[in-house]
């Protein structure tokens, strides 16, 4: 973190509509068509200044590879750049991914943008591959884009490996204590579900189907759907902190359960908030 002053910004998950962040997304994307295709995907972390105004964002999306997460969009408002906000957002994203057992974080950026190439490498990312003509009218970009006289044509993909993390591949931190704290879980939920007569298998299927939604939640460190009797089920899950637990309660699985509760459940779910005293995680 040498040379990076404290930005004074707070970094947190964004749970509001994506549309309110569109101008920030547009700072990082010249193609409206491309942006429409991904703005609602994955999860977003935001940076808030002292007044609570959102001054930067970072979008994390899953990829076709289970253990790889992509930084799809990142931007900091012009008046707030070069204060360490961008780096703070990347550090938080990488930490969340590590806490969620992600093996690699990847990001693609225009080869023409030397500042971005520098930024990601200073954050510990390493170049992986080049895609020529990624930014052309055929892919939804305006013609003749350029940065500092370099035509915007090709993209460079960077990655940071998390599994074999060592001091020199980290974001400049010592590995030991930080890594341990990222894996720590302190809060949990035990949610008991009683199926309506005749709807037991449907409830089981619903719980199976919830897994991909949970896999998109970086702060849901471990999640289990269990069956303890023919009609009795439970969800047990753990989180690094209250914020992670709240994000899950505000997330897609809870919303889907509320939507289908009348149809599948004999009674309202019994939700117990618990503190984790000890844990063994993979
Ligand atoms: C790329 C981007 C997100 C970086 O955000 P940022 O908040 O400016 O980044 P940071 O401040 O964390 O780091 C940038 C540099 O400013 C330096 N900096 C930080 N605080 C500083 C300060 N108080 N004074 C001077 N420089 C400072 C950082 O040290 C870093 O340089 P370094 O690597 O030499 O240390 C931002 O430039 C942006 O939004 N660009 C437009 C959108 C875009 O291109 N997004 C990426 C598409 S993939």
Structural domains for the chain: 3-161 (3.40.630.30), 181-275 (3.30.70.100)
Q: Which atom of ligand 1 is nearest to the CA of 118?
A: 33
Q: 150 forms bridges with which residues in the sheet?
A: 147
Distance of CA 23 to the CA centre of its chain: 20
> Residue 236's closest CA among 250, 218, 248?
248
Q: Ligand 1 — pocket residues by CB below 6 A?
A: 3-5, 27-28, 74-76, 81-87, 109, 116, 119, 122
Ligand 1 centroid, distance to 115 Cα (angstroms): 8
CA-to-CA distance for 225 and 213, rounded, in angstroms? 13
CA of 40 to the centre of ligand 1 (A): 25
Q: Which two tokens stand for residue 62?
A: 């899953």
- The pLDDT, as a whole number, for residue 183 is 57
Q: How far is the CA of 250 from the centre of ligand 1 (A)?
A: 31
Residue in this structure with the two tokens 């309660």, named with its chain if needed: 249
What pLDDT does residue 7 have? 82
Over the chain (282 residues), the average pLDDT of each successive run of 10 is 62 95 97 93 95 97 88 97 96 93 95 97 95 90 94 95 54 40 78 96 91 84 95 95 91 90 95 92 77
pTM across the whole model: 0.64
Q: What is the pLDDT of residue 178?
A: 39
Q: Are residues 2 and 172 in contact, defined by beta-carbon separation less than 8 angstroms? A: yes
- Centre of ligand 1 to C-alpha 99, Å, is 25
Pick the residue whose CA is nearest to atom 26 on ligand 1: 82
């Amino acid at each position: 973190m040498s040379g990076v002053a404290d930005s004074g910004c707070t970094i947190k998950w964004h749970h509001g509509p994506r549309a309110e962040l569109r101008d920030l997304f547009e700072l990082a994307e010249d193609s409206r068509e491309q942006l429409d295709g991904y703005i609602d995907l994955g999860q977003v972390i935001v940076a808030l200044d002292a007044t609570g105004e959102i001054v930067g964002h970072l979008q994390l999306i899953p990829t076709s590879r289970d253990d790889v997460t992509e930084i799809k969009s990142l931007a900091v408002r012009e008046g707030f750049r070069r204060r360490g906000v961008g780096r703070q957002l990347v550090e938080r994203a990488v930490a969340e991914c590590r806490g969620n057992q992600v093996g690699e974080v990847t990001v693609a950026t225009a080869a023409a943008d030397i500042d971005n190439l520098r930024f990601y490498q200073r954050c510990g990312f390493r170049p992986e591959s080049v895609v020529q003509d990624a930014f052309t009218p055929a892919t939804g970009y305006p013609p003749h884009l350029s940065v500092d006289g370099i035509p915007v044509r090709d993209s460079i993909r960077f990655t940071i490996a998390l599994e074999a993390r060592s001091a020199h591949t980290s974001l400049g931190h010592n590995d030991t204590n930080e890594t341990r704290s990222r894996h720590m879980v302190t809060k949990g939920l035990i949610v008991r579900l009683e199926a309506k007569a005749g709807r037991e298998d449907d409830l089981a299927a619903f719980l199976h189907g919830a897994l991909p939604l949970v896999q998109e939640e970086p702060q849901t460190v471990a999640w289990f759907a269990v069956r303890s009797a023919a009609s009795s089920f439970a969800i047990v899950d753990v989180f690094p902190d209250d914020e992670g637990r709240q994000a899950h309660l505000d997330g897609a699985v809870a919303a889907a359960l509320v939507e289908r509760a009348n149809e599948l459940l004999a009674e309202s779910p019994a939700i117990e908030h618990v503190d984790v005293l000890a844990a063994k995680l993979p």
